[in-house]
Amino acid sequence: MAPTASGATEGTMDMPGMDMGSEEMSGMDMRPVDVTDAPVADSEARGNQPLEPTIAEDGTKEFELMAGVVRWNILPDVEIGAFAYNDQVSGPEIRVTQGDAVRIRFTNTLPEATSIHWHGLILPNEMDGASDVTQDPVEPGGTFVYEFTVEQAGTYFYHTHKSVDRQQALGLYGALISEPKVWATEKPFDQEYTLVLGEWKIDDQGQTLPAMNQAGAFPNFFTINGKSYPETETITATVGDRIRFRFVGSGQFIHPMHIHGGPFEIVETDGNLVPEGARLTKDTVLVGPGERYDVEWTALQPGRWLIHCHINDHVTNNGVEVEGGGGLTMIVEVTL
Between 53 and 196, name the residue whose CB sits nearer to a copy of itself: 196
| Among 216, 224, 103, CA closest to 173 | 224
Shortest spacing between CB 70 and a copy of itself, in angstroms: 16
Instruction: Count helices and strands (H / E) in the chain.
Output: 1, 22
Task: Pick one of 291, 294, 296, 297: the residue that binds a copy of itself (CB under 8 A).
Answer: 291
Taking the C-alpha atoms of residue 149 and residue 312, their distance in angstroms, rounded to an integer, is 41
CA angle centred on 172, ends 30 and 270, rounded to 5°: 120
If one asks whether residue 147 binds a copy of itself (CB under 8 A), the answer comes out as no
Taking the C-alpha atoms of residue 297 and residue 86, their distance in angstroms, rounded to an integer, is 31
Between 56 and 122, name the residue whose CB sits nearer to a copy of itself: 122
Answer yes or no: are the C-beta atoms of 238 and 336 closer than 8 Å.
yes
If one asks whether residue 97 binds a copy of itself (CB under 8 A), the answer comes out as no
If one asks whether residue 161 binds a copy of itself (CB under 8 A), the answer comes out as yes
If one asks whether residue 335 binds a copy of itself (CB under 8 A), the answer comes out as no
Task: Judge residue 202's burial from the number of C-beta atoms within 10 Å of its C-beta, 0-12 exposed, 13-18 middle, 19 or more buried.
Answer: buried
Name residues contacting a copy of itself, limited to 179-218 (CB under 8 A): 202-206, 212-216, 218
Distances (CA, A) of 21 to 28, 31, 46, 230: 14, 16, 36, 34
Between 53 and 155, name the residue whose CB sits nearer to a copy of itself: 155
If one asks whether residue 69 binds a copy of itself (CB under 8 A), the answer comes out as no
Answer yes or no: are the C-beta atoms of 194 and 46 closer than 8 Å.
no
Between 17 and 99, name the residue whose CB sits nearer to a copy of itself: 17
221 phi, psi to nearest 5 deg? -135, 155
Shortest spacing between CB 57 and a copy of itself, in angstroms: 27
x-marked contacts with a copy of itself along 124-143 as a string, rule CB under 8 A: xxx-x-xxxxx---------
Reduced to 3 states (helix: H, G, I; strand: E, B; else coil), residue 164 is helix
Between 19 and 57, name the residue whose CB sits nearer to a copy of itself: 19
Name residues contacting a copy of itself, limited to 5-64 (CB under 8 A): 5-8, 10-11, 17-29
Between 76 and 141, name the residue whose CB sits nearer to a copy of itself: 76
With left for phi above 0 and alpha for psi between -120 and 50, is residue 85 left, alpha or beta?
beta
Binding segment for a copy of itself (CB under 8 A), chosen from 53-61, 95-103, 178-186, 287-295, is 287-295
If one asks whether residue 328 binds a copy of itself (CB under 8 A), the answer comes out as no
| Among 215, 302, 297, CA closest to 30 | 215
Taking the C-alpha atoms of residue 165 and residue 145, their distance in angstroms, rounded to an integer, is 24
If one asks whether residue 101 binds a copy of itself (CB under 8 A), the answer comes out as no
Q: What DSSP line would sit under 17-43, residue for residue?
A: T---GGGTT-----PPP--TT--B--T
Taking the C-alpha atoms of residue 91 and residue 84, their distance in angstroms, rounded to an integer, is 6
Between 48 and 160, name the residue whose CB sits nearer to a copy of itself: 160
Binding segment for a copy of itself (CB under 8 A), chosen from 42-50, 182-190, 236-244, 247-255, is 247-255
Binding segment for a copy of itself (CB under 8 A), chosen from 59-67, 89-97, 105-113, 161-169, is 161-169
Name residues contacting a copy of itself, limited to 299-318 (CB under 8 A): 300-306, 310-313, 315-318
Shortest spacing between CB 297 and a copy of itself, in angstroms: 11
Between 235 and 274, name the residue whose CB sits nearer to a copy of itself: 274
Shortest spacing between CB 14 and a copy of itself, in angstroms: 12
Between 18 and 82, name the residue whose CB sits nearer to a copy of itself: 18
Residues whose CB is less than 8 angstroms from the CB of residue 190 and which lie 6 or more positions away in sequence, other chains included: 237, 241, 242, 243
